[in-house]
Chain A
Amino acid sequence: MSTGLAGRSELDRLLASVLHRGTWLGGSVIALGLALPMAGWSGASSTMIGTRIVTAGIALLIVLPVLRVFLMLVVFVGWQLIKPGHSIFDK
């Protein structure tokens, strides 16, 4: 059992990091938005703020795969400019 993170390509590690952080950020924002009106705060404003926070969290999650594709493109193009002939997939 030797092949862990160290054995993967730079792109694998970069994407794993971005997707991990992005997913938990989006999930945390949604959790905050859901918890706000349930935390005992009364009034329509806390409900409205909670809904907006949940919507922001959902938007974050939806943007994440788009960001992933964009990141792959940027890294690929950037890598070709810096090290022509080498691959971002190389370990």
Chain B
Amino acid sequence: MVGAVHAGSVAWLLVVSIGSSALGGALGMASGIFIVPVLTLFGGLEIHAAVAASIVSVIACSCGSAAPFLRSGLTNIRVAIVLEVATTLGALTGVLLAGILSTPFLYFLFAAVLLVSASQMMARRHEVLGETEETNLRDWATLLRLHSCYPDHALGRDVFYRVRRVPLGLALMYGAGLISALLGIGSGVLKIPAMDTALRLPIKVSSATSNFMIGATAAASGVAYFARGDIDPVIAGPVALGSVLGAVLGARLLMAVSGDKLRLLFVVVLVALAAQMLLSALGIHLTGHTA
């Protein structure tokens, strides 16, 4: 009951979700990985209620940031559609394989993937944006017309980019969908390294496109949670509202900050998440669940 909740609790949920959504939105992984630990560790919420609220938060964050990203040309819808196919197929395979591979092994695997991704993303730190290469008219990206451009406010110019190695990107996205389905986690944290490493997209385009894709995936879970009555409006209401506001802030942050700083922040989050996964593999769960 909304009235039963103290105004202070609503304010706390609003502040937490604004911060989580702003950071998650700017990094393109939505708010789930930040909001679940905060709600369980500091809010004392039961994990199930926190996950349900986080799903609503992820949807609000994705939708809230999608409009400014689409308007500014950061979201590449063609890339999103192509990659969603691979992620969905990977997730379906994950559902079929559930229970075959041991969970500790999967946590180790996930941690290893995150650490490799972090090192590869760091290696691309000083790459010059907008470098043009000879066009191969027969590559997948050209055939699917995936190449595009976006205005970079931090650089003060339009950045043209070419999408590379689509088959490798599809394979990595398939893996991201597979692992996320096996471990029950959001795949945003794997999507961005895949787009960055394989497709060689600018980090801002990767973040915006990942944010765009995440909403549809989360909505599938959201509908199920909502239909079962598992979403508590007292918690999810302020979290959703805060996430909408945070998403707008996150979008502005992504557009204003330089790609290098964004990349560095993302790598820090990847390493922290890898540490959490290694602890989970050893049976030490900080939040009782990975989000």
Q: Interface of A with B (CB < 8 Å)?
A: 1-5, 7-9, 11-13, 15-17, 19-20, 22-24, 26-27, 30-31, 33-34, 36-38, 44, 46-48, 50-51, 54-55, 57-59, 61-66, 68-69, 72, 87, 89
Distance, CA A85 to CA B106, complexed state (A): 45
B40: Cβ under 8 A from any A Cβ:
no
Residues of the B chain whose Cβ atoms lie less than 8 Å from the Cβ of A65: 59, 62-63, 215-216, 218-219
B226 touches A51 (CB 8 A): no
- Shortest C-beta distance, A55 to chain B (Å), equals 5
Residues on the A chain within 8 Å of B3, using CB: 37-38, 44, 46-47, 50
- Cα(A69)–Cα(B60), bound, Å: 16
Residues of A with C-beta under 8 A to B153: 1
A69 pairs with B216, CB closer than 8 A = yes
Q: Is the CB of B231 within 8 A of A58?
A: yes
Is the beta-carbon distance between B2 and A51 smaller than 8 angstroms? yes
Stretch in B110-118, B143-151, B271-279 touching the partner: B143-151
Point out the residues of chain B lying under 8 angstroms from A9, CB to CB: 77
Q: Mark B177-213, 1 if CB is under 8 A from A, else 0.
A: 0000000000000000000000000000000000000
Chain A CB within 8 A of B71 CB: yes
A23-B157 in contact (CB<8A): no
Is the beta-carbon distance between A3 and B237 smaller than 8 angstroms? no
- Please tell me which stretch of B123-131, B166-174, B238-246 contacts chain A, meaning at least 4 of its Cβ atoms lie within 8 angstroms of it: B238-246
